[in-house]
């Protein structure tokens, strides 16, 4: 099973995006969020907690989406600390459009690889 981990410097931003993703792609998707609550920021420990939450739900693959550069650094550090116990992919895609594209593809029963491709292609989405 594939889960989505949204890593943001703002917990509220990540939670709002998770709400949007569930609203559009369905409540069955396993989505966790991590990020700063009272102050902005994110670190590898927070990401590890999100990974643990998803693995406890039965996820064997986790796609991580980040909002800013240091969110990716924290995600990559956490992935490296997990040492292969679960398939963790840090996805280079726009936070909103990329995670939405991935969730839509996953909700149709597609693979994690197809979800990653859809997320990466979101760089091409024009808003007007």
Active site residues: 9
Inter-CA distances, 90 with 5, 18, 99, 123, Å: 9, 17, 11, 16
Q: What are phi and psi of 62, to 5 degrees?
A: -130, 125
What span, in angstroms and rounded, lies between the C-alpha atoms of 5 and 57? 13
């Amino acid at each position: 099973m594939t889960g989505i981990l949204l890593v943001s410097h703002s917990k509220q931003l990540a939670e709002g995006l998770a709400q949007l993703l569930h609203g559009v792609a369905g409540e069955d998707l396993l989505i966790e969020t991590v990020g700063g609550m009272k102050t902005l920021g994110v670190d590898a420990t927070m990401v590890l907690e999100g990974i643990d939450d998803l693995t406890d739900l039965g996820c064997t693959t986790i796609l991580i989406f980040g909002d800013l550069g240091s969110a990716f650094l924290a995600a990559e550090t956490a992935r490296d600390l997990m040492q292969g116990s679960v398939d963790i992919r840090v996805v280079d895609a726009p936070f909103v459009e990329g995670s939405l594209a991935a969730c839509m593809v996953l909700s149709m029963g597609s693979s994690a690889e197809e979800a990653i491709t859809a997320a990466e292609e979101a760089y091409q989405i024009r808003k007007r």
